[in-house]
Amino acid sequence: MKNVIFGIVINSFFISYLLADQNMIKPELPDYPEQYPLYEITDDFFTSEPEVEIRENGEAVISWTTKMSTHAGRVYYGVYLPEQDLDYPHYRMLGREKLDTLSTEHSVIIDIKRFERDIYDAAHFVERKQGVVCYRVELFDPEYCHTRFFNGRFHFQKEENRYSESITIIEGPFIDQISSNSAIVSWETDVSGYGYVDVNGELFKDNESSLRHEVKITKLSAGRHYDYYVASWQEKDSVYSRTYRFETPAKNAKNFSFGYLSDSREGVGGGEEAMGGVNYGALLDLFSAMYYQDVKFILFGGDLINGYVTDVKTFEDQLRVWNQAVEPIGHYIPIYEGMGNHEALVFVYDDSLNGFWFDRQGAESAEAVFAKRFVNPQNGPEPEGPKLPTYKENVYSFDYGNTHIICFNTNYFWSSDPEEYGGNLEGYVMDKQMAWIEKDLKAARERWMKHIIMFTHEPAFPNSGHLRDAQWYSGGDPEKNQGFDRTYIVQRRDKLWTIISKYDVLAVCFGDEHNYQRVLIDKNTPVYVDGTTNGNFINPVWQVVNGCAGAPFYEQRQAPWTSAVKKFSMQHGYTIFSVQDDKVFLRHYGRLGQIIDECELTAVKK
């Protein structure tokens, strides 16, 4: 580490730095406070996913159970319109539960045959003799006084006027990690089966029977459009997705756009603003808008969900809702996800006054479950120590044309009380990850990558609701950190930013603060409580915060670097980076299409 404070304050700061170094995070398993009982945080309102029984006469019975007794529910059901590019559900019919008392057992009968009538046969069920019905269960939660939803779909077949259930693709397909010569296609079915991907008539098979499929597509040509669909089958039962498309980049692509946003956990307002831990409505709107701006991929910087749960199923269910919202876009372009502080799957020891929170371990760690749900590159560092969580698919990098992208994790191995019980502090980048970042940046520069853009969650220089944490912690002041001297977090931020500046990174994108900010950090920017600067930040780097994907807003607050803030907005919105050879332009849009900010990022490098 380097002592980076200059001027008359150098001696006092160096003393605090030495003291702080004694408290730096060690990569060891926590010493759990087992004198306190474990506390459970779950969301098991639906004790099981709805089950669908298809009767021969064309009726479908949708049944589910709830943890507590509730009033009757509703089921909205419909189809995916084949002329739509983005096939999100269109609900057309309503099924009401026949229940006149409170109950934990629920069922609704819906009529598939109604979609075969002339005016309703939008999905061509009569011609195809099969199809997919999408549905949404709606139920009122009497304990928390709000509406609960469950989205699902099922595939049916019709033969000699008899209807039967069929294997169903319940998630995907998603196209991921598109390069000039390869891609990965993933999808999930409701029962185990075999699968394949058809790409322009060539088959790529998954020869293992499973619920989840990840199939690598190879021998592609650069700069070409491809059509694809997926199929799954079980004995004589089969299902096919509709046909989608993707585009491989040219080997030396120099003109393309990509999107960035973060923080889509539940908003305030009910309905689709707060659905299964996700602001479903905002997320679908923003991703759809980016798709129609012809972005080639989308980066997402964490806080996908509410999280902070002790139950693996609840955590996975919330991630599944997030996938449902972005799936219509994920059919066509890759989405690269990163972890935020709300991707928290934890043990909680509760002493009735305070909770002590720790990332779970092994296959139940937040990092491991995150890797299970998404398909990201696996070129990240090794874990920080034995039995510590994986970095696979939450820390990674990839090239797209002349641009190198790095995703890193500022919420790895999280603990609420690391100085006392172990674990890692929110915002702190541990040694192996730090070394990997520097090695990866060096390699990118040796390959003569023109632009480097990084993304993660916790801002290095917060300007709003996270001045007391992120990578700042009020400057580490013990009086503002429960008596702990956390100046070491500032030192760790400085080490990271010195590396970032050294390798001339163009921009680092963050979330966490639920607003949009564009800030230029260089050797003249005040970055400490006393207003001093850091001469090691030799190359200017943009900090772009976009935590506007649906979480509740935060207003701007005063920080040492506030004068360097070029733009600030609290609207829901998305950011587009446009690479045009040796230039990169930024444009930030509001949810309803308003242009909030635009500039040439590379102008400061001239």
pLDDT of 397-425, one tens digit each?
Answer: 999 999 999 999 999 999 999 999 999 99
Closest-CA residue to 462 (of 427, 438, 498, 411)? 427
| Same domain flag for 159 and 280 | no
* pLDDT tier for residue 13 given thresholds of 50, 70 and 90: very low
Residue 7 has pLDDT above 50, yes or no: no
- Which stretches does DSSP call E strand in 317-386? 335-337, 346-350, 355-359
pLDDT at 435: 98
Sheet holding 396-400, edge to edge: 396-400, 403-407, 451-455, 507-510, 541-546, 516-521, 565-569
Q: Mean pLDDT throughout 283-287? A: 98
Q: Mean pLDDT throughout 29-49? A: 90
Last residue of a domain, one of 207, 222, 247: 247
CATH classification at residue 274: 3.60.21.10
* pLDDT tier for residue 23 given thresholds of 50, 70 and 90: low
Q: How far apart are CA 364 and CA 371, in angstroms?
A: 11
| Same domain flag for 218 and 263 | no
pLDDT at 5: 27
The residue written with tokens 């997919």 in the block is 132
pLDDT at 24: 65
Last residue of a domain, one of 132, 149, 166: 166
Residue 392 has pLDDT above 90, yes or no: yes
Q: How far apart are CA 306 and CA 315, in angstroms?
A: 9
DSSP 486: -
Q: What is the pLDDT of residues 98-149, one digit of tens each?
A: 998 999 999 999 999 999 999 999 999 999 999 999 999 999 988 888 899 9
Chain centroid, CA 490 distance in Å = 26
List Cα–Cα distances, 387 to 28, 365, 384, 422, 552, in angstroms: 9, 10, 9, 14, 36
| Same domain flag for 20 and 94 | no
| Same domain flag for 177 and 158 | no
Q: Which of 59-68, 177-186, 306-315, 349-358 shows the lowest mean pLDDT across its residues?
A: 349-358
pLDDT at 49: 86
Residue 45 lies in a domain: no
| Same domain flag for 256 and 239 | no
**How would you class 293 by CB atoms within 10 Å of its CB: exposed for 0-12, middle for 13-18, buried for 19 or more?**
middle
pLDDT at 216: 97
What is the phi/psi pair of residue 158, to 5°? Answer: -130, 125
* pLDDT tier for residue 207 given thresholds of 50, 70 and 90: confident
| Same domain flag for 598 and 506 | yes
pLDDT at 513: 97
Residues 185-210, buried b or exposed e (16+ Cβ, 10 A)? Answer: bbbbbbeebbbbbbbeeeebebeeee
- Pairing verdict, β 59-70 and 74-79: unpaired
pLDDT at 45: 87
| Same domain flag for 455 and 324 | yes
DSSP 83: T
Residue 44 lies in a domain: no
Sign of CA dihedral 76, 153, 43, 417: negative
Query: Based on the structure, what is the number of domains in the chain?
Result: 3
pLDDT at 145: 86
Specify the pTM: 0.94
Question: Residue 495 sits in which domain range?
Answer: 7-26+252-605
Residue 37 lies in a domain: no
- The amino acid occupying position 499 is I
Residue 42 lies in a domain: no
Q: Are 73 and 138 a contacting pair, CB within 8 Å?
A: yes
Q: Are 363 and 420 a contacting pair, CB within 8 Å?
A: no
Residue 17 has pLDDT above 80, yes or no: no
Q: How far apart are CA 176 and CA 178, in angstroms?
A: 6
Q: Looking at per-residue confidence, does 8 or 40 come out higher?
A: 40
| Same domain flag for 452 and 524 | yes
- The amino acid occupying position 34 is E
Name residues whose C-beta falls within 8 Å of residue 285's C-beta, 6 or more positions apart in sequence: 572, 591
Paired strand residues for 363: none
Average pLDDT, the chain: 93
Q: Looking at per-residue confidence, does 19 or 534 come out higher?
A: 534
What is the phi/psi pair of residue 347, to 5°? Answer: -95, 140
Residue 264 lies in a domain: yes
Residue 254 has pLDDT above 80, yes or no: yes
CATH classification at residue 209: 2.60.40.10
Q: Looking at per-residue confidence, does 59 or 15 come out higher?
A: 59
Q: What is the pLDDT of residues 370-388, one digit of tens each?
A: 999 999 999 999 999 999 9
Q: What is the pLDDT of residues 148-199, one digit of tens each?
A: 999 999 999 999 999 999 999 999 999 999 999 999 999 999 999 999 999 9
Name residues whose C-beta falls within 8 Å of residue 476's C-beta, 6 or more positions apart in sequence: 16, 20, 485, 486, 487, 488, 489, 490
Residue 8 has pLDDT above 90, yes or no: no
* pLDDT tier for residue 10 given thresholds of 50, 70 and 90: very low
The residue written with tokens 């192996």 in the block is 432
Q: Are 449 and 400 a contacting pair, CB within 8 Å?
A: no
The residue written with tokens 């983005």 in the block is 86
Q: What is the pLDDT of residues 507-535, one digit of tens each?
A: 999 999 999 999 999 999 999 999 999 99
pLDDT at 288: 98
DSSP sequence for 390-459 = P-TTTSEEEEETTEEEEE--SSTTBBS-HHHH-SB-TTPPPHHHHHHHHHHHHHHHHTT-SEEEEE-SS-
pLDDT at 588: 98
Q: Mean pLDDT throughout 445-471? A: 97
Cis peptide before 418 (omega within 30 of 0): no
| Same domain flag for 497 and 583 | yes
Last residue of a domain, one of 247, 279, 302: 247
pLDDT at 9: 29
Q: Which of 368-382, 487-501, 592-606 shows the lowest mean pLDDT across its residues?
A: 592-606
Q: Are 190 and 152 a contacting pair, CB within 8 Å?
A: no
For 189-278, where are the alpha helices, taking DSSP H only? none
Residue 6 has pLDDT above 60, yes or no: no
The residue written with tokens 């999107």 in the block is 259
- Angle at the Cα of 237 (from 233 to 241), degrees rounded to 5? 55
Residue 41 lies in a domain: no
DSSP sequence for 353-388 = S-EEEEE--GGGSHHHHHHHH-------PPPSSTTP
* pLDDT tier for residue 43 given thresholds of 50, 70 and 90: confident
| Same domain flag for 238 and 279 | no
Residue 16 has pLDDT above 90, yes or no: no
Residue 587 has pLDDT above 80, yes or no: yes
Residue 200 lies in a domain: yes
CATH classification at residue 57: 2.60.40
Q: Are 154 and 165 a contacting pair, CB within 8 Å?
A: yes
Closest-CA residue to 296 (of 450, 400, 186, 398)? 400
Residue 33 lies in a domain: no
DSSP 235: T
